[in-house]
Each structure stands twice: as structure tokens, then as C-alpha cells.
Structure 1
Amino acid sequence: MSSTDFSQIKRIVLKVGSSLLADPVHGINMQMVQRLAADIQNLQSRGIEVCLVSSGAVALGRVQLGWVGKKLSVHEKQAAAAVGQPMLMHAYKQAFSELGVVVAQMLLTKDDLRHQRRYLNASNTSHTLFKANVVPIVNENDTVVVEEIKFGDNDSLGALVSTVVKADLMVMMTDVDGLFDANPVANKDAKRISEVVKLNAEVFAMAGDVGSSFGTGGMLSKLHAANIAIHSGVTAAVINGSKPGTLMQLLAGEDVGTIFRCGEDRHSLHEHAISNLLHVAGQLQVGEQALTSLVNDKRLEPQYLESLQGDFDKGDCLEIWSGKQLVAKGLSNYSKTELEKLVGCLPSEIEARLGYVDFHSVILPENLVVMGQ
């Protein structure tokens, strides 16, 4: 595809944020829900399959329970999600049924995508629904998940779902016009970025991290989600969903929002799992001298280790940090107990320290993913 040609798109994941769906008075913005239904029905009529990833359950529950503006505990957020999720699906079912479109609810957690069988089940179910002309509506199963509610957002869920359903395009609808080179609220001269070819540190620095009063994800979370998508071969876009017609304008090739292009540095399924899905069991702190070896050779030898955290075993996924910068993720060749004995150790000294040698490196190159590559 060229920079404006979406004519070959066959499957879209459309992620809609709480800021568009929640209404502080009525609970849900039915006008927005009806507009989404009309757009998706239009796309279906053109042969384009759509999976809708919808935030809003916690926000709607807040309104129903009278908790708007209140700082909620994790359990209160779970309770709000339990109240809000059926309200959300009822609104979608009502809007779509008026257009003759059937919808289905899919509640997922990141843990579902970490396990191969459950991952395949989710993929097979979505493809069966597409064949039946049903619109899958996905949300995180917030009532049973602690970590995702406390730290996560549905932007990354949308990106991961894009890989599950093998989408061509992921569109994140929010209440801003896209990515700007400065904060448009504070700087009237801020310019919208139409297209990002390489998502690097400079682009991430443009984002800030300001979300709406209802949502948990600001522009920074959308860049992280776009990064997951494009490394998996899925083009990503951020558009202003509060403006009617923006989605159709994007697909028609008009200059709206921000498009994130896939590069050549795409991840394999194994790398995707390490980077985005596997539970992180610990962290390794390395010196600056390790960066060249990590980036150029994808090698991490024990002499570069400075400290380690967490309780991990051989084969667990670890983060590698240099100062405050996350440099890489990978699967450890050694347990924490073993690595504690190898801090600062040369490969030739491993046997003397442990009494045996399994590997001469902390992580094998094929099990290492350098961030930003």
C-alpha cells in the first residue's frame, strides 16, 4: 500500500476509547455507539471485516454506581466493570440490531494470549464469527484481572487482538486529531504528524502521557500499541473518533489522523511473544558497555551484569535495563540463584563459579528482542 491507499484492506480492528463512549450524565454516549454501528455496517457491505475493541465498561460502571471523579481501588474498578460491561453490550446490541447486524462478546485477558491453546481458540472463534458476518466486540475481562486494570489499557489489547485476528489495519479512535509534535492543548503552534515511518525515541518524546478523565490510555499508550502492531505487520492509525466521518475519510486516503507504517523490522511470532505477551519474571541491570553487544550482536554475557531483581527460573522472560532505559527482553538461560553467582563474570569463568556450564551467555540471540528494533 502507498501512504494513502487502503483499498486492499480486508480486515480492520477498530479500538474505541472510553472518552468517546462514556457520558458523565447518561452513562453511555448512544449517538457515538449508533455512529460506530453505522460505520461498521457500511464497511461490512463493502466486504471489510471489522473487530471492535471497546473500552468503556469501567467508565459506565462508574456512572451507574455514582463513582464519577472518585479514585477507585482495584476491587472497585472490578466491580464497576462488572456493572458496566452488560450495559455496554446492551447498547451495542441495540444499535447494531437496528441495522440488521449481529454482534458477539469476547472477553480476553493477556493471559489468554500467552497460552498457545487459548490463543488459537480466540483466533479460531474470531474467524468463525467473521465467516458468519458477526462483529466480534472485544474487551478486557476487567472483573478478574488485577494487573491489567491497575497498569494497563485497551490500546495494547487492540494491538494484540490485531495479531490474533490477522488484521490488515488497526485504527485507534480517540478524542484528539492524532499525534502532534507538541502538546496541542498547551501549544497553539503544534502540528499534527500525518505519517510515522519509524517509531523511534524522538517520536515517543512527542507523546507526553495525558489521558482523558475516563480513559487510562493517553497518546503514549497509543504509540506503544502502534509499535506492537507494526512489528507484527499490522498498519496502525490514530484518528479523532468524535468527528463524524473520520474513519471513512481515513480509509478513503484523506489526510486525517496519524498513520504508522510497518517497516522491515517485523517480529516473528516467537519474538512477538517475548516482547508483548510473556509474563516478565525479573529484571537485569547492565552497564552501558553492554549496549553495543546487545544492539549489534544480540548477545548478553554475564560480565555486563550489574544487578538483578525478581524471582525467576531458567527459561523465564526477563527485562534488561541500562539505567532507566528498557533495552531488551529475553528468555534467561539461568535461574536467579545461578545468575547471582555470575554477576561480572567472564564466560570463561562460568564453570569455576557454578561447577558446570550450560551456556556462555545469559540469553541466546534467538531468545532476545532489542526494544525499538
Structure 2
Amino acid sequence: MAALSDAKRLVVKIGSALLVDADTGALRQDWLTSLAADVARIRARDTDVTLVSSGSIALGRGVLGLPRTALALEQSQAAAAVGQIRLARAYEEALAPHGIVTGQVLVTLEDSQDRRRYLNSRATMETLLSLGVTPIVNENDTIATDEIRYGDNDRLAAQVAVTIGADQLVLLSDVDGLYTANPRVDSDAQHLPIIDKITPEIAAMAGDVGSALSKGGMVTKLMAARIATDGGCAMAIALGTGANPLAALEDGARTTWFTAQTDPQQARKRWIAAMKPRGTLTLDDGACAALTRGKSLLPAGVRAITGTFGRGDLVAITGPDGAQLGQGLIRYTSAETRQIIGHHSTDIAAILGYEGRAALVHRDDMVL
């Protein structure tokens, strides 16, 4: 079973019902302060932490005096616009006393479905984490419409975890895990501490345990578990209503852990290996040797390209003799690549007229 103390890269999802008082619509400041202390303690052992937080609409509707019933799309977007700035400020003020810098990341479903935008999001998140920042991620409710929405932050959190290669995801909720039936209506429901595989029987146990402020129920949590565990990330459903919820989880509080089916790096490599290339890069001997040492592919080492592709498309990587070395996701279009191959990365801006990434294909986006 996974243990939170072993996490190297952790994603924590916070639901609206935990962050916003259901009666007053106000921020639960004391609870957020306790969560910030948990995050600081976990970060102190060199664990990257990313927070996926609901709450912008719940906070904004109170400020705007909107009813607590279902809102029209434009009302939800207006509430999100008002609430998001308050949500970001609340996290900044809670984490700053611990010396933690926060960054706001707003996404939509399109950002994970479009490969170019996915790679850009991933690069931004990786850079934030490398700089010691704790990203605060939320769906961009201000602009998202139904066709580009995740619709719940459980699945968003799982997608974020897979995107950044997290090894653990914790969904803080108003329930302490998965039961054989809904424990609120069935006194015989039994708690399930470990799920090694989400079978049809397990999936059938999910019931709607959402709250008035939360769109996520157990069904969406199981969907998130599938995404996370298939991507090499263990996932926990944990009770988050009390103070210091992550400390409680570490101290043995009841929860349900879903076992990762592989590790994050292998899951990503397997995904890349299964894709069909849109073009080919032919390398010189020096670049081939660099790749075998675990380096990224730079423009200077590419002799020629074939095919037409966009940013984020898959390309085959071959040696001077045409033998395929591997494949990877390229960071430039075919037209841009033709202009910069054979040149040093420091020349990219002068050639293209704008700053670009140093590597054509980053080693994390490559399978040899």
C-alpha cells in the first residue's frame, strides 16, 4: 500500500465543500491554514506538491449575492471571475508565511486533449516545480463551456497528476474512501482500504456522495482513479473535513488507496511508444551518442527531416544509416524544424524571430 511519506511528487485535490462554508459561503480560513502547514511539512522533505482546488464559483457567488441553487452558465462564469482572484489570494496568504511561493494555473479540458497545449502546460508546470513553486490549479470556469469542461476537479486532478508525472494523488473529500455501498444510506456498507484493480464489481459500488457545493461524487472519483493508476500514480480518497487532513492521513486515518498499475515514467513512455510518427528526424553520430547518454535532442545534431507535423506530434528518430533509434514528441512544427536543424539552440531566436525551447525533443518526451 502507498504511504504519503514516500511521495516524491504529490498532487492534492481540495473540494469546494472543504474550502467554503456551506451556510455562509465564506472561506474556511482556519482549515486552509492547517492545510498550508501540512503542505509546508511535506515540502520540507523535498516532495513536490501541487494543489488542485475547487472553490472559485462557491466563493464568487457569495460575493455577488447569487442564489445557492443551480446557476446559469454566464452566472457561473461571472462568479468564477470574482471568486478565482479571492481563491488565489487565499492560498498565497496561507502559504507565504511558510516561505512557499504559489503560482496560479487555470486549465480547460482542451489543454489536455490538444497535444500542443498539453506539452505547453506540462512544460510550464515542470518549470514551476523546478523553481520551488507550489502550483494552484483550477478549471478555467471563467471561459469554459460544457464542451471544453472537465466538469469536476477529481478528473482534473488525475489528469494533472499524470501530466506532471506525480507518483501520488490525494483526493480530499467529505468521505473517507470507497464503501461497498453508500454509507449514508446503508448501515451495512463496508469500507475498502485498498483497491488493486477497478473491476466492474468495484465500479458498481460507486454512488453519488456529492454535496451541495461539489459536483464530484464517487463515480467521478473512480474515473479519476482509473486515469491516475493507469498513468503510474497511486491515488487516495481521504476525509478532509478536519484540520490538518494530510497529517491525519499520514497518521493512519481511514482512507482508500488505489494501487498504481505502473510507474509514471514507464506509463508515459508506453503511451509515446504506441503512437504513430508523423515525420522522421535523421541525426548525426554525435547526436545519436548523446541520446544514448540520456540527453535531449538538440537542433544541431539533426541532419535532415521528412514529413509534415505540428508541435507536439510524434516523430521517428533515426541514425545516419536510417536505422530507427526511437521516437518522441517534437516541440516545433516541421517548417520551424527545417529552419533550425544544424544550428545551435542559442541561434533559434534569431532564426525564427522569437524565443523557442532549446531542445527539439526533450528526453522526457522520447522513447529509445
TM-score by length of 2: 0.69
Q: Equivalents in 2 of 1:220, 1:30: separation in Å?
A: 29
Q: Equivalents in 1 of 2:117, 2:37: separation in Å?
A: 32
Q: Judging changes above 3 Å, is the alpha-carbon distance between structure 1 residues 64 and 148 closer, same or farther for their aligned structure 2 residues?
A: farther
Q: Judging changes above 3 Å, is the alpha-carbon distance between structure 1 residues 235 and 33 closer, same or farther for their aligned structure 2 residues?
A: same
1:162 Cα deviation after fit: 0.5
The amino acid across from 2:179 in the alignment is F
SS in 2 for 1:262: coil
Residues 38-93 of structure 1: per-residue CA shift (max 9 Å, x gap): 11111111111100000111111121122242221111111111111001111111
Structure 2 segments unaligned to the other structure (5+ residues): 276-368
SS in 2 for 1:28: coil
Q: Equivalents in 1 of 2:65, 2:127: separation in Å?
A: 39
Q: Equivalents in 2 of 1:100, 1:270: separation in Å?
A: 37
Residues 255-300 of structure 1: per-residue CA shift (max 9 Å, x gap): 5210001236968436999xxxxxxxxxxxxxxxxxxxxxxxxxxx
The amino acid across from 1:15 in the alignment is K
Q: Does residue 16 in structure 1 map to residue 18 in structure 2?
A: no
SS in 2 for 1:133: coil
Which residue pairs with 1:212 in the alignment? 211
Match among 231, 254, 258 for residue 256 of structure 2: 258
1:151 Cα deviation after fit: 6.9
Q: Judging changes above 3 Å, is the alpha-carbon distance between structure 1 residues 162 and 193 closer, same or farther for their aligned structure 2 residues?
A: same
The amino acid across from 2:218 in the alignment is M
SS in 2 for 1:53: strand
Q: Judging changes above 3 Å, is the alpha-carbon distance between structure 1 residues 269 and 150 closer, same or farther for their aligned structure 2 residues?
A: closer
Over the residues paired in the alignment, what is the CA RMSD in angstroms?
A: 2.3
Q: Does residue 182 in structure 1 map to residue 184 in structure 2?
A: no
Which residue pairs with 1:97 in the alignment? 96
1:171-320 superposed matches below 5 A = 171-251=170-250, 254=252, 256-263=254-261, 268-269=270-271
Q: Equivalents in 2 of 1:75, 1:272: separation in Å?
A: 41
Which residue pairs with 1:106 in the alignment? 105
Q: Equivalents in 1 of 2:128, 2:164: separation in Å?
A: 11
Whether the 8 Å CA contact 1:74–1:149 is kept in 2: the answer is no
Q: Equivalents in 2 of 1:148, 1:141: separation in Å?
A: 13
The amino acid across from 1:128 in the alignment is T
Whether the 8 Å CA contact 1:246–1:256 is kept in 2: the answer is no
The amino acid across from 2:214 in the alignment is G
Q: Equivalents in 2 of 1:248, 1:7: separation in Å?
A: 10
The amino acid across from 1:203 in the alignment is I
Whether the 8 Å CA contact 1:15–1:172 is kept in 2: the answer is yes
Task: State the identity %.
Answer: 41
Q: Equivalents in 1 of 2:250, 2:274: separation in Å?
A: 27
Whether the 8 Å CA contact 2:182–2:209 is kept in 1: the answer is no
Q: Equivalents in 1 of 2:65, 2:57: separation in Å?
A: 12
Whether the 8 Å CA contact 2:193–2:256 is kept in 1: the answer is yes
Whether the 8 Å CA contact 2:35–2:243 is kept in 1: the answer is no
1:183 Cα deviation after fit: 1.1
Q: Does residue 131 in structure 1 map to residue 130 in structure 2?
A: yes
Whether the 8 Å CA contact 2:31–2:242 is kept in 1: the answer is no
1:15-94 superposed matches below 5 A = 15-23=13-21, 24-94=23-93
Q: Equivalents in 2 of 1:111, 1:271: separation in Å?
A: 23
SS in 1 for 2:120: helix
Whether the 8 Å CA contact 1:126–1:165 is kept in 2: the answer is yes
Q: Judging changes above 3 Å, is the alpha-carbon distance between structure 1 residues 231 and 202 closer, same or farther for their aligned structure 2 residues?
A: same
SS in 2 for 1:106: strand
Q: Equivalents in 1 of 2:273, 2:255: separation in Å?
A: 29
Whether the 8 Å CA contact 1:194–1:255 is kept in 2: the answer is no
SS in 2 for 1:98: helix
1:243 Cα deviation after fit: 2.4
